[in-house]
Amino acid sequence: MENMLQHSTCQNFGTDCKELIAMIKDPHAWPSFATELERIETLLICFPNFDIIHVPRARNQFSDFLVKTARSFYRKLHFIGCSVPVWLPSPPQV
């Protein structure tokens, strides 16, 4: 969310983590994550019409591939865009 604010106030996010969605919708039910949820609540103010949806992992394979590839870099990598960079290796065919 912090990185997205540098580029756009895009309001739609997707995740395959149902727990994250539950935390955002009802932060008081997750007291052990209070610090993290406080930061998320602060960021939510910057998004006029925030929405987060569940995307099943089976439909999220390409995003999962991008995250795993980014983790292999030895420096911070931030990419927000509508297309895949040409320098990124192709995902495995399913």
Residue 52 lies in a domain: yes
* Residue 71 covered by a domain: no
Residues 33-80 have pLDDT tens digits of 999 889 888 888 888 888 888 888 788 777 778 777 777 766 665 556
Residue 91 lies in a domain: no
Question: 79 lies in a domain?
Answer: no
Residue range 17-36, pLDDT digits in tens = 899 899 988 988 999 999 98
Residue 34 is assigned to a structural domain of this protein: yes
Q: Which residues contact 32 (CB under 8 A, 6 or more apart)?
A: none
pLDDT at 72: 75
For residue 90, pLDDT over 60 is answered with yes
Look at the chain and report how many structural domains it folds into: 1
How confident is the model at residue 32, as a pLDDT?
A: 92
Residue in 62, 56, 58 with CA at minimum distance from that of residue 21 = 56
